[in-house]
Amino acid sequence: MLFSIITVTYNAANVLERTVLSVLSQSYPHLEYIIIDGNSLDGTKAIIERYASGLSCWVSEPDSGLYDAMNRGLQRATGDYVWFLNAGDTLSHSNTVSDLAAIAERNGMPDILYGETDLTDADGKIIAARRLKAPEALTWKSFRMGMLVCHQAFIAKRSIAPAYDLQYRFSADFDWCIRCMKAAETTVNSRLRAVNYLYEGLTVANRKASLRERHAIMCKYYGTFATNLLHVWFAVRYYWAKWTGKIV
């Protein structure tokens, strides 16, 4: 089975190389690695060119933002599974894809594979495990309780993966995961620590706008009354985590 790993980037010269190396060092041979760059001006393109021989496809051209770039990556992907790994994120170790492929094969190539995430700082050092844990069973209704699986640890079959909805500037990944799950017949918890996630992304930097979008997305799928009720619990959970010093 072929995995399409897609990295979208813009002016990320300080963090991109570790992402590229984590993919190119994978022991699993059936990978296509696609990089979609938004016409960076900071040396990002030079890094991509340095490793171009290990890439299946790369472009550096203007786009309309993160999710437009992700759609461009999806259009170029040919793998059985698509996996988004943003600049600054890394796979946990060199056998991550191989381990995931073995799990997929044992489980009849499920529509969605998912796992756990560790958070890292700007230097790539692990800060902590992501506070929200991946549930044992995952359905489209699971995200009523928030994004229980990090986007970077959510791997979907290309055949069920829709385009990202560009009406959402900061949380289209939340909507995309839900739509993938609604289309899926089978999901499997790999129980792997799959990804190290750079905790300084677009959503983190625009937290309030992201939360407003997530609220709108949840209202669309789960109903306004139920969503508002759950957000009371989210507020309690957030301030408790903040008070106890846990990362949210």
Q: Is the pLDDT of residue 124 over 90?
A: no
Host H or E run for residue 52: none
Residue 49: the pLDDT is 97
Helix (H, G, I), strand (E, B) or coil at 190: strand
Cα–Cα distance for residue pair 44/69, rounded to 1 Å: 15
Residue type, 140: W
Average pLDDT over residues 86-106: 97
Task: Give per-residue pLDDT as tens, 166-216.
Answer: 999 999 999 999 999 999 999 999 999 999 999 875 555 577 888 899 999
Which letter does DSSP use for residue 230 in this model? H
- On whether the CB atoms of residues 61 and 38 are closer than 8 A, the answer is yes
Query: Residue 241 in 3-state DSSP?
Result: helix
**CB–CB of 36/63 below 8 Å?**
yes
pLDDT tens across 210-243, in order?
Answer: 889 999 999 999 999 888 877 777 777 666 766 7
* Per-residue pLDDT tens over the stretch 57-95: 999 999 999 999 999 999 999 999 999 999 999 999 999
In this prediction, residues 139-165 reach a mean pLDDT of: 96
